[in-house]
Structure 1
Amino acid sequence: MSFPSPSPPSSLSHDDTLRRTRVLSSNLYFDVPSTKVPVIYSSSYDISFLGLEKLHPFDSSKWGRICEFLASEGVLDKKFIVDPQEASEEDLLVVHPQTYLDSLKSSSTVASIVEVPPVAMLPNCTVQKKILHPFRKQVGGSVLAAKLAKERGWAINVGGGFHHCSADKGGGFCVYADISLCIHFAFVRLGISRVMIIDLDAHQGNGHERDFADDRRVYILDMYNSEVYPLDFTARRHIDQKVEVKSGTSTEEYLRKLDDALEVAGRMFDPELIVYNAGTDILAGDPLGRLSITPDGIIKRDEKVFAFARDKNIPLLMLTSGGYMKSSAKVIADSIINLTRKQLIEMSCA
C-alpha cells in the first residue's frame, strides 16, 4: 500500500521546502510485502567491537536477543521480520544540520555521546562502521515503523528510541534523533498532522522535547524519574503532559499514574499517530533508571498503551529505547508475546 504525497502548503519556508524534498526523495519508506509482519530488525543493529561495547551499561546486543527469544517461543519466524534501510546523510539532514553530522567525523565527539571514552582513540572509519552504522540502521527502522503502523495499525522497531538526541546535540548513548526524523517523515509522506509521543523510558526525553518545543502538531506525554539524567529543565518546559516519578517508585504507583496520564492524554489531544518510547530501564535493579517496576509491571504497562491506541483506533509504533540490564531483552520479548495473546497485535502473515 502506497500513500500519495500531499501537496505542499504555499507558505513553506526555504528550509521546510528543502526538508520536504529530502523526505520525498528518501529510500527509507518502501513497500513491505503482506507476507512480512510489522516487526523491524536487522542484525546490523547489534554493536560489537573488541568488547568496547561492554564499557557502557547499555546491553548493545539486546535487540538481537529479543528476536531470538521471540523465535524460540514460536511467536515470530525470523523470515517474516522487516529489514530496514540505513539512513543516509540526506535522510539525516531532514532534522540534523550539516555541522552536527560533520562533528560525528570526530571519534572523540562520538565517544562523548555514547559515553565510552576509549572510542575516542579509534580511527573514525572504524567508528562509522562499528558504531554509527548500527545506529543509522535503527533510524531507518524507526522511520519505516510509522509507515507500517499507518498501514497495519501497529509496528515495532526492535531498536530505536534515541530520545536524548535533538537536532544539534547528541548524548546519553543517543547519536541520531530517530523520533524526530520518524515524525517529520510521517508529516510529509503520510499526510499526518497530529502526533502523540508517549515516552515511558525512565529518563526524560529531552531530545524530542527540544525539537518540537514550538510545534503544536506534536503532543508529548513524558513519564520519567525526575531525579536522574538528563535533568534538562529547559526541555521540561516543553512537555505537554509531564508525569514525574521518584527513585524507588513501585509498580502499583507507576501503573496508577500511567492510567491517570493516559486518561488525560486522551481528552487533551486527538492524534493520528502514536510514537511509543518503551524503555525498560524502569525495571527494578536498573542502575540508571532507579525505579522498582517488576517485569510483569512492564508487560502491563505496554498492554495499557497498546490498548489505549486500539480503543481510539490510532496507529501506534513502538521503539524499545533504554534498558541497562541483561534481563531487559527477555522482558521485552515477554511483553510482545503478551500483546499477541491479548490480541493487541497480530503476528500471523497474510
Structure 2
Amino acid sequence: MTSLYFDISDSQWPIIYHEKYNVSFLGLEKMHVFDAKKWGNIIKHLKDEELIDDESIVKPQEAKKSDLLAVHTKKYLRSLNWSAKVAMIAEVPVVAFLPNAFVQYAYLRPMRLQTGGSILAGKLALERGWAINVGGGFHHCSGDRGGGFCPYADISLLIRWLLDSQMIQNAMIVDLDAHQGNGYARDFLGVPEVYIMDMYNRDIYPKDKQAKKAIRRKVELRCKVEDMEYMLKLRQNLKAALEEFRPDILVYNAGTDILNTDPLGLMWITELGIIKRDEFVFQICKEHNIPIVMLTSGGYLRKTAKIIADSIVNLYNKGLISGNGEKD
C-alpha cells in the first residue's frame, strides 16, 4: 500500500491540487510554450466562480521513490539526477546548465506532487464516483523513459497501484489529448486488464508505432478537425469501447491542446467543443456507473486554464459531479 492514499472528509471535494504544482525556473519557464502556472490558474477561476474554497480542495503528498518504483526503473529515476536529461524531457534547453538540486526543487518536485495527486485520485474516484487531479496526465512518460514535458508516468502509476492493491481488476484509459499517449501504452503493451482508447492527431508528435500496438481502440484524426466530426467520432467510439470492455475505473486524459488556437495540437476544436467533450465523457461514465478520474494533461495556451475551470463548473451544473461525501 502506498502512503499517497489517505481518507478525506465529507466536506472535501475529490478535486486534488497543491499550490506547489506550479513550475518556476526563475522566470526561465516563460521560454516554454507551456503555461507553467496553468494549474494554479484553474483553481483561481474555480474560486472566482465560488465552486470551491481552500477547505474543499484535497492536497496530495509528493510521490516518493518507493511509490515511483511501482512502474519506473531505478536506472530511469537515477537519470533524472542529470540536468541535461531533465532539459530534454522538459524541452527547455537552458535547464541543462542549472544545478540539479535546483532542477529537482523547481521542476521535478512539482511533477512528483502532481503524480502523487494522480495516484490519490484513483482511490478517491472509487470512493466518490469521480475525482479530478488539477494536474497530471503525463502520457508521454513510461517506466523507462520520459519526454514531451512528462517526467513521471503518473497514468501508469495510478492504475498499477490500484491493481497491485487489489482495489480494481481492470481499467480503461480514454486519452483525448491532441497527442498520442505513448508512455502508458508502452507500459501496458500486452496487459489485457488495461483497455486503451486513444483519439489523437496522427500528424503530430510522437508518432510512436510501437506504442500504437497497445491501443485497443485507435481513433486517428487529421489536422484542422472541427467540433462536429470530433464529437461524432468520440461518441461512436467511446460507446463501442464500453460495449467491448467493462472497466472498474476510467482514467480520462482530458488535454485541452485540441483547442483551435493551440500551436502544437493543430486541431480546430472550440472552447464549447471542449466543454461538451468533457460533459459527454462524464455523462457516459455516470450512465454506466463507472468511477472516473480526470487529469488535465496538455494545453499550451494561457486561456486553457479558464476553459478547464468552465468545464468543471459545467459538470457541476449538469449534476455530473457534486461536493458532498456521497458517491455520485
What is the aligned counterpart of 1:327 among 303, 307, 323?
A: 303
Q: Is the 8 A contact 1:67 1:78 kept in 2?
A: no
Letter of the structure 2 residue corresponding to residue 88 of structure 1 = K
The corresponding residue for 1:182 is: 158
The alignment status of 1:246 with 2:232, answered yes or no, reads no
The corresponding residue for 1:274 is: 250
Q: Is the 8 A contact 2:10 2:324 kept in 1?
A: no
Other structure's SS at 1:81 match: coil
Letter of the structure 2 residue corresponding to residue 243 of structure 1 = V
Q: Is the 8 A contact 1:163 1:177 kept in 2?
A: yes
Other structure's SS at 1:63 match: helix
The corresponding residue for 2:106 is: 130
Matches of 1:84 and 1:35 in 2, distance apart?
16
CA deviations 1:71-126 (Å, max 9, x no partner) are: 00111112210000000011111100100000000000000001000000000000
Within 5 Å, which residues of 2 pair with 1:75-90? 75-90=51-66
The alignment status of 1:265 with 2:241, answered yes or no, reads yes
Cα deviation for residue 250 of structure 1 reads 0.4
Q: Is the 8 A contact 2:118 2:133 kept in 1?
A: yes
The alignment status of 1:169 with 2:145, answered yes or no, reads yes
Other structure's SS at 2:71 match: coil
Q: Is the 8 A contact 2:18 2:113 kept in 1?
A: yes
Within 5 Å, which residues of 2 pair with 1:164-313? 164-313=140-289
Give ranges in structure 1 of 5+ residues lacking alignment.
1-23
Matches of 1:193 and 1:122 in 2, distance apart?
43
Matches of 2:90 and 2:253 in 1, distance apart?
19
Q: Percentage identity across aligned positions?
A: 55
Letter of the structure 1 residue corresponding to residue 203 of structure 2 = E
Other structure's SS at 2:55 match: helix
Q: Is the 8 A contact 2:172 2:250 kept in 1?
A: yes
The corresponding residue for 2:43 is: 67
Comparing 62-71 with 181-190, greater Cα deviation is found at 181-190
Other structure's SS at 1:156 match: strand
Letter of the structure 2 residue corresponding to residue 184 of structure 1 = R
Runs of 4+ with >6 A deviation: none
Q: Is the 8 A contact 1:147 1:190 kept in 2?
A: no
TM-score when scaled to structure 1?
A: 0.92
Other structure's SS at 1:79 match: coil
Q: Is the 8 A contact 1:57 1:325 kept in 2?
A: yes
Cα-Cα RMSD: 0.9
Other structure's SS at 1:296 match: helix
Cα deviation for residue 348 of structure 1 reads 4.5
The corresponding residue for 1:12 is: none
What is the aligned counterpart of 1:50 among 26, 31, 47?
A: 26
Matches of 1:229 and 1:32 in 2, distance apart?
38
Other structure's SS at 2:143 match: coil
What is the aligned counterpart of 2:118 among 142, 154, 179?
A: 142
Q: Is the 8 A contact 1:37 1:348 kept in 2?
A: yes
The alignment status of 1:345 with 2:321, answered yes or no, reads yes
CA deviations 1:105-164 (Å, max 9, x no partner) are: 000000000100000000000000000000000000000001000000000000000000
TM-score when scaled to structure 2?
A: 0.98
Comparing 250-259 with 184-193, greater Cα deviation is found at 184-193
The corresponding residue for 1:13 is: none
